[in-house]
Every structure is written in C-alpha cells, then in structure tokens.
Amino acid sequence: MLQGVNLACVRGDRELFRDVSFSVAAGGLLQVRGPNGSGKTSLLRMLCGLSNPAAGEILWNGISVRSRDGGYYADLTYIGHSSGTKDDLTALENLQISSALAGFEITAAQAVEALRRMGLKGREMLPVKVLSQGQRRRVVLARLLVCKTALWILDEPLVALDVSAVDLMRNLLEQHLQQGGMVVMTTHQEIEIAAAAISQLQLS
C-alpha cells in the first residue's frame, strides 16, 4: 500500500502544492490530474524518491520510502517523460538492459515475446533511433510486461500512442489491477479503465 501524507512541493520560491494526501491499496488506481505546471510530474518523481518532498512523508507498506530498506524499489516500475532508451541500441537490447536494471533479468526470447505483444513484430533488431515516436514508447512500455512489480508509476504513458496501442495499454492496466497491482498515473487523455478502486487526485 502506497500512502502520501500531507505532501508539499516547492520549486524555487513557488509552492506547487501542499497538504496532498492519498493512499493506494492493492488493486487501486490513482489518477493524478491537473493543468500543465501544476506539479504532476514533480509529485510522481517525489513518489519515486527522485526528489524529496518539502514537507510530508511517503510510505510504502508503512515504511518511509526515503529509508530505502522497505523493499520499495524492488516493487516499483517508473516510466517517466524521458524514454530511458538508448538510440544506438536495438529495441531488444534496450528492453533486456532496462529490465535487468530494474532487477528482472530476461532472456532474449522473453524480450522478443514482450515486444511482439506490444506490436513491434519485425522491429526487434532495429536500433531505436529509426523507430517512430509511438514505437519507441511501445519499447518503453514493453517493460511493464516483463517486470512483475506491484506498483506502476506512469507519467503520461499514452503520449504518442495510436488507438490500438491505447487499447493495449488499457488491457494491460486492467489486468495488472485485477491481479492486485497498483497504478499511479497522469494522463490528459480520456481513458476508461475498469478497476475496483479508482481515485482521482486533483492538483490545481
């Protein structure tokens, strides 16, 4: 269970938000909403421990994520704005390396299988730099298929995806939530996800 308690975020001398509290339990989806510049990405980066909250505490199963000993990072998959892929490496190499980095060593066959499910059949051995924006995004999102983590933190996962890929993502998210996973995501696109518990967090 992921909890945020009275979080505040300050950028420079501007306060983006304060007293933000939420909790996400198994099977729960938290959608973070708000206009551009309202601190959605800052909040997600905070949840990943990439920056520290100006006030408040983030708890994973009751243990502060800042202590780094609650096993939080083994349970977390973060997909941010920047792709986290290397242009000079092939889609296959990118997927294998990024999942190894996340603690899941996969074989080439598993990686090919995941890329095919993401609709990248025949593109596995191409360097990522020759792929289109949407295809690169699919390479990144393929990590969700191979890294069996409980908590997904996704920053605008649907950007640059076409209709069929958005459908694919919806299925993926629903399946993950049904299996008791947790998702925290931001999106500007309207997407109907069936989940046991959906909560919205509005940042102004």
Partner 1 sequence: MFFWIIKRDLLLAIRRQSDVLTTLFFFVIVVSLFPLSVGPEMNLLRTMAPGVVWVAALLASMLSLGRMFANDYSDGTLEQMLVSPQSLSLLVLGKATAHWLVTGVPLVLMGPVLGIQYDLPTDALFVLTVALLLGTPVLSLIGAIGAALTLGLRGGGVLVSLLVLPLYIPVLIFGAGAVEANMSGIAFDAHLSLIGAFLLASIVFAPWAAAASLRVSLE
> Which residues of the shown chain bind partner 1 in the complex (CB under 8 A)?
48-52, 71, 73-74, 76, 78, 80-89, 93, 97-98, 100-103, 105, 127
Q: To the nearest whole angstrom, how small is the minimum distance from the Cβ of residue 193 to partner 1?
A: 23
Q: To the nearest whole angstrom, how small is the minimum distance from the Cβ of residue 62 to partner 1?
A: 19
Instruction: Find out whether 52 and 59 touch, Cβ atoms under 8 Å.
Output: no
Q: Which is nearer to partner 1, 79 or 177 (CB)?
A: 79
Q: Which is nearer to partner 1, 29 or 155 (CB)?
A: 155
Work out the number of other CB atoms within 10 angstroms of the CB of residue 52.
11
Q: Which is nearer to partner 1, 112 or 128 (CB)?
A: 128
Q: To the nearest whole angstrom, how small is the minimum distance from the Cβ of residue 165 to partner 1?
A: 20
Q: To the nearest whole angstrom, how small is the minimum distance from the Cβ of residue 105 to partner 1?
A: 8
Q: Which is nearer to partner 1, 74 or 108 (CB)?
A: 74
Task: Write down the residue that tokens 């409980």 correspond to.
Answer: 150
Q: Can you say how many angstroms the Cα of residue 45 is from the centroid of all Cα atoms in its chain?
A: 10
According to DSSP, residue 62 is labeled: T
Instruction: Find out whether 177 and 26 touch, Cβ atoms under 8 Å.
Output: no
d(CA 68, CA 136): 31
14-24/28-33 β-pairing: unpaired
